[in-house]
Amino acid sequence: MLENTTIGYCNQLLVKTMQPETPSEENITDDMRFGRYVPLKLLGKGAMGRVYLSLDPVLQRSVAVKVISLDDNIDSESRKSFIDRFTLEARASAQLNHQSIVTVFDAGEQDGFPWIAFEFVDGESLEDLLKREPLIDLERVRSILYDIGSALKVAHNAKIVHRDVKPANILIEKKTGIAKLSDFGVIKAPFSMATQEGMTLGSPGYMSPEQIDGTGVDCRSDLFSLGIIFYQMITGVHPFIRETLQQTLYATLMGEYTPIRQLRNDSSSDTEKLVAKMLKVSRDERVGSTEEFLDLLAKCTIGSPGTKGFFKSGSVIVKTFQPVIDIIKKNDSIITSTVRNKTVKLVVDKSTTTVKKAFTAAFVVLKSVPVRNIAYSRRVQRLIGALVLIILVVSSGYYLYDNYFSLHKKDTAVLRELAARDGHKGTPSQLITKCRTLIERNELNDAQEIAEALIRIKRYAAHAHVLNSIIELKDKDGNDAVREIDEGKKLRGFRRAFGKERELYKSALRDYLINEEIDRKMVDCIVYSLHMGHENCFRVWVDDKAYWLRWNSVNILQEVGQKVDMVNVYILDLKYAGSMRVRIRAANKLAEIKDKRAINALEEVARRGFSDPIVSVAAQSALDEIRK
């Protein structure tokens, strides 16, 4: 079964109830030692090593010693590097002090094999408990989660990520019932190239998407694994386990699982929301820290009571408003009042089962006051007409003066100041050309000094906002680029200025789109540029190998109702995307579309075999689906 599959970490742990093998089978001799520790019997073994119940002769106590197995084909340099890292991590983990952390006592090397000595826990693993009791009592679930969450908090505050949180690494002490997290300080052993090719290290059912994808781990990876355990304790089933390893990893990458309340109806919506937040595929959407998790767990109602939270019977809010609620429940009523000569009518409607949440309030519309008709004489009408004409002439004159005569004086003042302060000399047109050149050279600070000065000259302000938006795009500040575009659109001459800087804007936009997914405001800004003649460049970019440039262009074109050839987009994802999750999604999408143009690309990826095992299986499945 897949639950028993081990890739990387040892799945068996140091617990007294594990079925030991006889010493003779493991060649335990009287003179065998791991440092000062004397092995007594084998507790368990796995792909990564063996765990021995051992005696500390100095302190006369039992310890568990884990001996790490290293690949025989590992070269001496890799072996030494691993042992050095192993020693450093074991030393760091030994500093962790918490009742829910299995304490690291010692570490060393024996005959070329590293070993680490742990506190011996008399009890059973959570893995064994789940086999015996698939559905764990809800309050016990909370207790276990609190213990392990508290242990992870200590570790994460010490900048240590466990990387392998799973039921087999959680031990329940028989005497106290305290849950303890084990295997701190045990890091991944290196493998030879023959072994390493196409292999995913870790415990498949409990790895986070970023571990599967190889994009690095942090504390949120441990919380994802804990979320899987949370789900498993509540429902009795694993959220992601499928028939094959590939299907399991794919379900994890896609976040595909059955909602908790469909499997256990006595759990609360609080529980479902918390688990869902822990199992978010994107780390940025996940519970951000162990402190946040423990805070949410404390507020979470694990079970499903009739009422909960602020509106629980006897809560402060209910007690405070109970008199008002009683009055409303007794009978219908209409409350009237007068405010500033306007009648306010509040209608309180009774319900037989519950009080309606909203009051209906309406102002009684006062009778309109009739306006006295005024008869104007012909003389008065002429006078009014003359005044209106004078106002129009004066306004027009002021507008023309302000925009075409006094502007030159303001220009001169701004240009003198710019030349004196920053050394940028020339007419406004010359300065625009100079600003453009500075942007092309990526001298953004000097370019922005000129653009900011030109904004103060009305005739060139629109052009200056266009240049500023390009500068912000080059500086990877999408929000400010949007702001500059919004300001510029209010000014006369913006469309003409935008057209003049089309190529420069397009170049800056490409550099911006290639790095990351853009937000909604930026999409709106770029949609505007579509109407300015940039549609063709986006159609070219949807065929680019750069992932974010391609997908940002897809989203922008779809936003304005343009059709995109998604078969080609998914083929590019399948062949060139760095993320395993993206490549698997592409294979599945191509299987859904069933377009024969994808066959060559799918065949190419399917032949990768062990170099890309999970994606190659997905590609082969897609091929089978298309050829049906």
Dump pLDDT digits (tens) for 254-274: 899 999 989 988 888 889 999
> Is residue 22 classed as helix, strand or coil in its secondary structure?
coil
Per-residue confidence band for 599, with pLDDT thresholds at 50, 70 and 90: very high
Q: Which residue has the higher pLDDT, 388 or 226?
A: 226
What is the average pLDDT across 462-489?
87
Q: Which residue has the higher pLDDT, 5 or 75?
A: 75
pTM of the predicted protein model: 0.58
Of 248, 280, 299, the position where a domain reaches its end is 299
Q: To which H or E segment does residue 148 belong?
A: helix 138-157
What is the average pLDDT across 48-69?
88
- What are the φ/ψ torsions at residue 345 (nearest 5 degrees)? -120, 120
Same domain for 547 and 572, yes or no, is no
Q: Which residue has the higher pLDDT, 45 or 585?
A: 585
Of 543, 563, 583, the position where a domain reaches its end is 563
Residue 378 is assigned to a structural domain of this protein = no
Per-residue confidence band for 374, with pLDDT thresholds at 50, 70 and 90: very low
Same domain for 78 and 213, yes or no, is yes
Same domain for 479 and 521, yes or no, is yes
CATH number of the domain within which 505 lies: 1.25.40
Same domain for 602 and 545, yes or no, is no
> Is residue 337 classed as helix, strand or coil in its secondary structure?
strand
Q: What per-residue confidence (pLDDT) applies to 368?
A: 35
Residue 262 is assigned to a structural domain of this protein = yes
DSSP letters for 281-328: SSGGGS---HHHHHHHHHH---B--SS-GGGSTT-HHHHHHHHHHHHH
Same domain for 358 and 433, yes or no, is no
Q: What per-residue confidence (pLDDT) applies to 399?
A: 59
Q: Which residue has the higher pLDDT, 102 or 522?
A: 102
Per-residue confidence band for 573, with pLDDT thresholds at 50, 70 and 90: very high
Virtual torsion, Cα 276, 277, 278, 281, nearest 10 deg: 90
Per-residue pLDDT of 8-58, as tens digits, reads: 333 333 333 333 333 334 566 777 888 899 999 888 776 677 889 999 999
Residue 264 is assigned to a structural domain of this protein = yes
Same domain for 143 and 184, yes or no, is yes
CATH number of the domain within which 611 lies: 1.25.10
DSSP letters for 372-409: PP-PPPHHHHHHHHHHHHHHHHHHHHHHHHHHHTHHHH
Q: What per-residue confidence (pLDDT) applies to 335?
A: 42
User: What CA–CA distances, in Å, run from 525 to 462, 479, 489, 528, 556?
Assistant: 16, 10, 11, 5, 10
Same domain for 177 and 255, yes or no, is yes
Domain that holds residue 596: 565-628
Residue type, 341: N
Q: For residues 256 and 230, what is the distance between their CA atoms, to the nearest angstrom?
A: 16
Sheet holding 333-339, edge to edge: 333-339, 342-348, 360-363
The per-residue b/e assignment along 593-612, b for 16 or more CB within 10 angstroms, e otherwise, is eeeeebeebbeebbeeeeeb
Mean pLDDT (the chain) is 76
Per-residue confidence band for 353, with pLDDT thresholds at 50, 70 and 90: very low
Position 490 pLDDT exceeds 70: yes
Per-residue confidence band for 361, with pLDDT thresholds at 50, 70 and 90: very low
Position 398 pLDDT exceeds 50: yes
* Helix count and strand count (H, E) for the chain: 26, 11
CATH number of the domain within which 252 lies: 1.10.510.10
What is the average pLDDT across 415-439?
78
Of 563, 586, 611, the position where a domain reaches its end is 563
Residue 586 is assigned to a structural domain of this protein = yes
Q: For residues 30 and 145, what is the distance between their CA atoms, to the nearest angstrom?
A: 42
Residue 263 is assigned to a structural domain of this protein = yes
Residue 319 is assigned to a structural domain of this protein = no
Same domain for 571 and 500, yes or no, is no
Altogether, the residues listed in the chain come to a count of 628
How many distinct structural domains can be found in the chain? 4
Q: Do 519 and 550 contact (CB within 8 A), yes or no? A: no
Beta bridge pairs of residue 50: 45, 67
Per-residue pLDDT of 323-349, as tens digits, reads: 444 444 444 444 444 433 444 444 444
**In 26-97, at which residue ranges do the beta strands (DSSP E only) sit?**
38-45, 49-56, 61-68
Same domain for 413 and 549, yes or no, is yes
Same domain for 141 and 279, yes or no, is yes
Q: Which residues have CB under 8 Å from 70's CB, separation 6+?
A: 79, 82, 112, 113, 114, 189, 190
Same domain for 240 and 250, yes or no, is yes
Residue 400 is assigned to a structural domain of this protein = no
Per-residue pLDDT of 277-312, as tens digits, reads: 999 999 999 999 999 999 999 988 876 544 333 333
Same domain for 204 and 270, yes or no, is yes
Residue 206 in tokens: 């409990």
Position 351 pLDDT exceeds 60: no
Q: Which residues have CB under 8 Å from 245's CB, separation 6+?
A: 2, 5, 204, 614
Residue 395 is assigned to a structural domain of this protein = no
Q: Do 559 and 528 contact (CB within 8 A), yes or no? A: no
Q: What per-residue confidence (pLDDT) applies to 419?
A: 64
